[in-house]
Amino acid sequence: MKRLFSGIQPSGDLHIGNYLGAIRNWVRMLTEYDCIFCIVDYHAITISYEVETMQSRIINAAAECIACGLNPDECTIFVQSHVPEHTELAWIFNTVTPMGDLGRMTQFKEKSEQHKQNVNVGLFDYPVLQAADILIYKAEAVPVGQDQIQHIEFSRRVARAFNSRYGETFPEPFHLTPNIGRIMGLDGKSKMSKSLENHISLSDSPEAIKKKLATAVTDINRKRRNDPGNPEICNILTLHRLLSTEKEIEYVGTECRKAGIGCIECKMILAKNMTAELEPIRERARELKENPERVREVLEAGKRRCRTIAAETVREVKTKMGLL
Ligand code: SF4
């Protein structure tokens, strides 16, 4: 079985974009790959955060991943900072990484813009730690969204640079990017994000889902109920495609184009389907959050397995580099 690695930020309650864009696909890969999933707390601290809430954010993210279907009997889930070999390997990778490669990273430019008060070295070095996260497990498959493809290509370059300097050690990882369209936030402007308050949380109640969808931006050119709409530029149709039946998607698309359906009716069909999908997840997550010890046991088991693999890789790397 090839190994698969992916990470998720401990940004509190996960949202529907995390689920539909990432975790739901991870669940489908459990039988195909040896899957390792990481709560990336060291990445999370590259922007300002509340120290008091970090532990609960980590537990909540893990609980929700498990509730979404990442069965700990079928995969490994752990916390990045519990395996210190990640940062050790990242330091080693720093020495085979040209500064210019990091300066060209789109995410660094965007985050530097968003967090002008805190443009730190960790933010700049983020892709190197990400390369270490993946390569320390010699993972080959990395499921990511479109915006992370550049970082996976960067990881390939790091693997190549290390292999050519010190001998064949790492596979060059490939990205697995689902063809599902970009899930925008409810504001219709940016990617769905917890920090931008444009999201629907996995923990939202059916009423909250309806309320949030009711205010979501649609085709901005469709100003009145009688105006025909263009569903292809509407985020609501993107979500329908991920949650509704073929018949409903066809109905909504056709009726929208001839003004046969209003946006509220269209959104309420989506709300019904979203609620049906999220209800069992919300219930399982609630049970797990009430029993954080159960979640900690999963993370502890993940740490034990990952430390064994990571220590072995670091030993091999240091030997090849003449450090052991
Ligand atoms: Fe979007 Fe649906 Fe309104 Fe069409 S009817 S613009 S798909 S919300």
**Ligand 1 pocket residue status of 252, Cβ below 6 Å:** yes
3-state helix, strand, coil split of the chain in percent (to 5) is: 60, 10, 35
Mutational pocket test of ligand 1: of 227, 230, 261, the residue with most ligand atoms within 8 Å of the beta carbon: 261
Going across the sheet that includes 76-79, the strands are 76-79, 34-39, 3-8, 141-143, 174-176
> Which pair of structure tokens corresponds to residue 157?
């370059």
State residue 180's pLDDT score.
Answer: 81
The residues, ordered by sequence, that sit 6+ positions from 284 with a Cβ below 8 Å of its Cβ are: 66, 67
For tokens 């190994």, what's the residue? 3
Same CATH topology for 3-183+293-321 and 206-285: the answer is no
State residue 314's pLDDT score.
Answer: 98
In sign, the C-alpha dihedral spanning 36, 41, 42, 43 is positive
What is the radius of gyration, based on Cα positions, of the chain?
A: 21
Spell out the domain ranges in the chain.
Answer: 3-183+293-321, 206-285
Please check whether residue 40 is in contact with residue 133, taking contact to mean a CB–CB distance below 8 angstroms. Answer: yes
Phi and psi dihedrals of 193, rounded to 5?
-150, 140
Q: Enter the CATH code of domain 206-285.
A: 1.10.240.10
State residue 162's pLDDT score.
Answer: 98
Angle between helices 263-290 and 246-257 (to 10 degrees): 140
The burial class, CB within 10 Å (0-12 / 13-18 / 19+), for 50 is exposed
Altogether, the residues listed in the chain come to a count of 324
State residue 181's pLDDT score.
Answer: 76
Q: Is 7 helix (H, G, I), strand (E, B) or coil?
A: strand
The residues, ordered by sequence, that sit 6+ positions from 290 with a Cβ below 8 Å of its Cβ are: none
* Consecutive 10-residue averages of pLDDT for the chain (324 residues): 96 89 95 98 95 96 97 98 98 97 93 91 97 98 93 98 98 92 88 85 96 96 95 96 97 97 98 98 96 98 98 98 98
Q: Is 261 helix (H, G, I), strand (E, B) or coil?
A: coil
Please check whether residue 127 is in contact with residue 151, taking contact to mean a CB–CB distance below 8 angstroms. Answer: yes
State residue 61's pLDDT score.
Answer: 95
Mutational pocket test of ligand 1: of 184, 252, 255, the residue with most ligand atoms within 8 Å of the beta carbon: 252
Q: Which atom of ligand 1 has the smallest separation from the CA of 261? A: 5
Write down the pTM of the prediction.
0.93
Q: Enter the CATH code of domain 3-183+293-321.
A: 3.40.50.620
Residue type, 299: L
**Ligand 1 pocket residue status of 237, Cβ below 6 Å:** yes
Q: Which atom of ligand 1 has the smallest separation from the CA of 255? A: 5
In sign, the C-alpha dihedral spanning 9, 13, 16, 19 is positive
